[in-house]
């Protein structure tokens, strides 16, 4: 059964595909927004200390790994998170890196806080220091994780496994 030509043109004119075009346009705009976020968003990377010590004069000594110490510079922002004990809130104190001592992996931190509680200065405090070491985009994180397109001297190791380098054998 065939249709008349005028009827088929009328049906094409009535179905304008407006909703389909609108959905396609919204999908393209969403993809452009996600790509812009992927390449231009900033993610903060932190180095975490292994231990901290608060001196009576208010200086904070934080111990970092050797690899983490290489990334810490004077003037970087620091957040101290101090544990008060069970059922007590964690105290958060902002500060900055005052000086780095490369000997024994210690860093001296200068605090912004004016009123440090006396119990923190006199007692044995546990907690950690988090130093903002870098801002990267999600794309840079993925490139680092794959290990491509990076200079090997600046590359951060991703895998905890180490592979032995083959040594030439003289008996061959």
What pLDDT is attached to residue 24?
95
Q: How far is CA 37 from CA 23, 31, 132, 136, 169, in A?
A: 21, 10, 21, 12, 51
Cβ neighbors of 56 (< 8 A, separation 6 or more) are 121, 122
Helix pair 138-146, 18-40: axis angle to 10 deg: 70
> What's the rounded Cα separation, in Å, for the pair 141 and 75?
24
116: tokens are 């440090």
Q: What is the CA radius of gyration of the chain?
A: 29
Reading the chain (172 residues) residue by residue, the pLDDT tens digits are 566 655 667 666 666 778 888 999 999 999 999 999 999 999 999 988 888 877 777 777 788 887 788 888 888 888 888 877 777 788 888 888 877 776 666 777 766 555 566 666 666 678 888 988 889 999 998 888 887 655 555 555 554 445 455 555 555 4
Exposure string (b/e) for 138-150, b if CB count within 10 Å is 16 or more?
eebeeebeeeeee
Closest by Cα among 54, 45, 44, 43 to 128: 54
Q: What is the pTM of this model?
A: 0.62
């Amino acid at each position: 059964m065939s249709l008349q030509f005028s009827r088929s043109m009328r049906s094409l004119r009535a179905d304008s595909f407006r909703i389909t075009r609108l959905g396609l346009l919204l999908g393209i705009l969403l993809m452009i927004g996600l790509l812009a976020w992927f390449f231009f968003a900033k993610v903060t990377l932190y180095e975490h200390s292994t231990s901290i010590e608060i001196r009576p004069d208010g200086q904070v000594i934080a111990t970092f790994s050797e690899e983490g110490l290489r990334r810490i510079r004077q003037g970087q922002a620091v957040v101290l998170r101090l544990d008060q004990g069970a059922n007590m809130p964690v105290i958060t104190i902002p500060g900055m890196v005052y000086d780095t001592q490369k000997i024994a992996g210690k860093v001296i931190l200068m605090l912004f806080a004016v009123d440090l509680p006396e119990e923190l200065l006199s007692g044995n405090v546990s907690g950690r220091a988090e130093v903002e070491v870098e801002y990267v985009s999600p794309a840079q994180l993925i490139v680092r994780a794959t290990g491509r397109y990076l200079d090997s001297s600046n590359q951060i190791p991703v895998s905890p496994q180490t592979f032995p380098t083959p040594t030439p054998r003289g008996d061959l």
